[in-house]
Amino acid sequence: MDIEQFVEDCLIANKESDAQTAVSDVLAKAVSTPNKVLEAIGEPSKAGLRVFLSSPELTIFAATWTPQMNLMPHDHLMWASIGIYTGREDNIFWRRTPGGIKAFGADALFQKDTALLAEDALHSVTNPLLRFTGGIHIYGGDFFGTTRSQWNPETLEEEPSDGSVIRGIFERENQRLGLNGDMSPSA
């Protein structure tokens, strides 16, 4: 897998009339050969976000989850496409209700699986495995510069979130496991 060519293919696909589907097709092709993705990106060894592209139109990064890592319910406010190249990612889907958010569905993504999330999707993420999980995440906008929401995992109270909040969660996860957790945007 050539990361630069992958990014270029995603940028081209993002110009299609159904950008998310076109970009997801590029992603599905990439994660269909997980060994090639691992050769290009490397075996996950800590929680992190390795950013390949961050622009107002598209954000692409490899996210790596530590064993049994959890991310509270959150939104993106833009479409998202996720492809797993190693491990497993479990998603619980949530809906806004007059009384707060309520869980309404779930999906488990395994190696080679992809998922498309709509702009209004709310989900929480868990790596249920005792090993690392790696996925490529593509967002139809500026993921790091958009103020979004997350919900407290105990109270389900809505809180502000953005790229720096997310990086902090990954840093704390690395600290929990005693790993070096440099989370600069290019890490």
The per-residue pLDDT for range 112-144, each reduced to its tens digit, is: 999 999 999 999 999 999 999 999 999 999 999
The 8-class DSSP code of residue 30 comes to H
pLDDT(184) > 80: no
- In percent, the amount of the chain with pLDDT more than 90 equals 86
The whole-angstrom separation of Cα 112 and Cα 7 is: 18
Domain assignment present for 108: yes
Task: Classify residue 11: in a domain, yes or no.
Answer: yes
CATH code, 139: 2.60.120.10
Q: How confident is the model at residue 186 (pLDDT cuts 50, 70, 90)?
A: very low
Q: How many Å apart are CA 148 and CA 161, to the nearest integer?
A: 5
pLDDT at 107 over 70: yes
Could you report the per-residue pLDDT of 26-60, keeping only the tens digit for each?
999 999 999 999 999 999 999 999 999 999 999 99
What is the SS3 assignment for 137?
A: strand
Q: What is the mean pLDDT of residues 142-151?
A: 94
Which range of residues forms the domain containing residue 64? 3-176
Q: Are 92 and 102 in contact (CB under 8 A)?
A: no
In this prediction, residue 183 carries a pLDDT of: 40
**How many domains in the chain?**
1
- pLDDT of 179 reads 80
Q: Is position 46 within any domain?
A: yes
DSSP 8-state assignment for residue 33: S
Does residue 44 sit within a domain? yes
Q: Is residue 182 part of a domain?
A: no
Q: Does residue 185 sit within a domain?
A: no
Lowest-confidence region among 18-22, 103-107, 175-179: 175-179
Residues facing 126 on adjacent strands: 70, 90
Q: Is the pLDDT of residue 106 over 60?
A: yes
Q: What is the DSSP string of 36-94?
A: HHHHHH----SSEEEEEEE-SS-EEEEEEE-TT-EEEEEE-SS-EEEEEEESEEEEEEE
Amino acid found at 112? K
Residue 142 lies in a domain: yes
With respect to residue 181, please indicate whether it lies within any of the assigned structural domains.
no
pTM over 0.85: yes
CA 37/CA 26 separation, integer angstroms: 13
DSSP type of residue 113: -
